[in-house]
Amino acid sequence: MRSSSSSYAFSCSLKCSFLHILYSSIYNLLLSTATVNGFTVTENGFSQLIELPVPRNGLYSNTSTRWSRTAVLSIDDFGAKGDGFSDDTKSFQDVWKVACSSPSRAKIVIPVDKFYLVRPTDFTGPCRSKVTLSVSGFIVAPRDPEVWDGLNIRKWLYFHQVKHLKIEGGGIIDGMGWEWWSRSCKKNDSNPCTQAPAAVTFHRCKNLKLRNITLFNGQQLHMAFTHCNRVAASHVTVIAPADSPNMDGIHISASTRVELKDIIITTGDDCISVVSNSSRISVKNVVCGPGNGIRYHIFPLDLEPCSCKLVANNGGFGSIGSLGKYNSSASVQDVIVSGAALFDSENGVRIKTWQGGSGFARNITFENIWMRNVSNPIVIDQYYCASPETCGNQTAAVSIDRIYFRNIKGTSATEKAIRFACSDSYPCKRLYLENIQLTTSSGIAAKSFCWKAYGTSTGLVYPPSCILSGEIIIRYRVKSNSTGWRRDDYAVF
């Protein structure tokens, strides 16, 4: 069994490396095509759209930091089998208790080429010192949803109130989501609409760092940050088929100071979603595309190849919302998405709010983004309604203010490349378009649609802007005192 697992892990490692190289190659191809088609490249412009990491020894190279007085705890020393069949949940619980209570820094090691079957588990803080979880092997979920009977159905790996946690190692976390998807009402109308777990959830965590981790086939959300502060995630890969239902890659809720960098996501819904009461979110260098077309579980003796079609991602790249559902109050502000490649997705960059809500979405920037064959490249929708019943008209709305779209180029799969559907009572204010070049994949003329959308545009904007003239927006350069980075900011008059 050990040799079988080892050879299988090697096979999976080759597949993962291939997937990373594939999407890196697709991005490079898109970028080279963009250059040939006459993109204007400036010192601070589109030429620095994305800087993907170079793959080494798997998906990414593993960079470790030497710590003095670090307790190294191997999961195997706590009785874990790592054969993919034995239940290793208690071993994970026991090693976490030791690491979290350690007076010195602790490092939990999940060895390479082994498969650890883990049931729904809470990893609870606060801890006495900093903890590192080094995942070099595979952590797999139970495939049967009945395992969650009597438990919180929204949780699998759940980190709660942990400070200074670091997760790294180049390993894979597999949610084994196939059975969950088959029971979804979005896959089959006769199924009841029920909840499903987020594969990995960080709740009320602070000073969190994630690097060099891959998530496969989450049950629903792959990774969720809720009520977190100071998060840095880089070199994270999320992979699920394009037809997996309601499968956001990374979900951010009620969190602040979150930085995502060098991310590859192929999944069935939004690659990255930001929802209520979140602020100071930075997203940089992201590849977002459809499902990978290879159906398999990271599990011993459970390889399931299939001739899956490479279909469009049903979600989109960067989604703000939905906000204001059930007449609730929600706020999202100070978000910047800079550097992304999107292809074959239903939506590109999007802000969506329900009628009847309150609050705001403001000071949000989408810039330096390349799209290929995206059905709805740029969208603001204050009439969002994801309900089997018709949503009634309501006058209250989440306000939309200071939204910037800069250097967005590529092709739209539909005629309507820009769509701003804003509220009659709370129109969109201070929208700003700069250097937008969106043509259709079919060659027909692209169009814009605007309703109650006010703002201004500058530079070449195609399809032609339809926003109504509003305030004057002046761009200027500012320098961050904390990072030393220079970036664009805006003054509105």
Closest CA to 256 of 232, 272, 223: 232
Q: What is the pLDDT of residue 296?
A: 32
Instruction: Give 3-state DSSP helix, strand, coil % of the chain, rounded to 5.
Output: 15, 45, 40
How far is it, in rounded angstroms, from Cα 195 to Cα 204? 21
Q: In Å, what is the CA distance from 51 to each residue of 31, 250, 286, 287, 419?
A: 11, 20, 9, 10, 30
Contact 315/267 with Cβ under 8 angstroms? Answer: yes
484 alpha-carbon distance from chain centroid:
27
How far is it, in rounded angstroms, from Cα 368 to Cα 284? 10
> How many residues does the structure list for the chain?
493
**Coil/strand/helix, residue 451:** strand
Pair type for strands 272-274 and 345-353: unpaired
DSSP 289-348: ES--S----SSTT---------PPEEEEEEEEEEE-GGG-EEEEEEEEEEEEEEESEEEE
**Coil/strand/helix, residue 235:** strand
Q: What is the pLDDT of residue 100?
A: 97
Q: What is the pLDDT of residue 185?
A: 80
How far is it, in rounded angstroms, from Cα 493 to Cα 489? 14
Q: Which residue has the tokens 């579980």?
A: 297
Closest CA to 418 of 376, 454, 456, 452: 376
Contact 380/420 with Cβ under 8 angstroms? Answer: yes
How far is it, in rounded angstroms, from Cα 493 to Cα 422? 21
Q: What residue ranges do the domains of the chain occupy?
A: 69-294+312-469
DSSP 36-49: HTT----TTSGGGS
* CATH number at 69-294+312-469: 2.160.20.10
Structure tokens that stand for 103 in this block: 């007076």
How far is it, in rounded angstroms, from Cα 118 to Cα 114? 13
Neighbours of 460 (CB within 10 A): 12
Q: What is the pLDDT of residue 471?
A: 54
The one-digit pLDDT tens for each residue of the chain (493 residues) are: 444 444 444 344 444 444 544 544 544 444 444 433 333 334 343 343 444 433 333 333 333 444 458 999 999 999 999 999 999 999 999 999 999 999 999 999 999 999 999 999 999 999 999 999 999 999 999 999 999 999 999 999 999 999 999 999 999 999 999 998 888 887 777 778 788 999 999 999 999 999 999 999 999 889 999 999 999 999 999 998 888 877 789 999 999 999 999 999 988 878 999 998 999 999 999 999 874 222 333 333 333 333 333 333 455 566 898 898 888 999 999 999 999 999 888 889 999 999 999 999 999 999 999 999 999 999 999 999 887 778 888 989 999 999 999 999 999 999 999 999 999 999 999 999 999 999 998 989 999 999 999 999 999 999 999 999 865 444 555 555 544 445 555 444 4
Long-range contacts of 57-62, Cβ-Cβ distance < 8 Å, separation of 24 or more: 57/170, 58/13, 58/16, 58/17, 58/170, 59/16, 59/17, 59/20, 59/170, 59/212, 59/214, 59/235, 59/237, 60/20, 60/170, 60/212, 60/235, 61/170, 61/212, 62/136, 62/168, 62/169, 62/170, 62/212
Closest CA to 28 of 341, 339, 289: 341
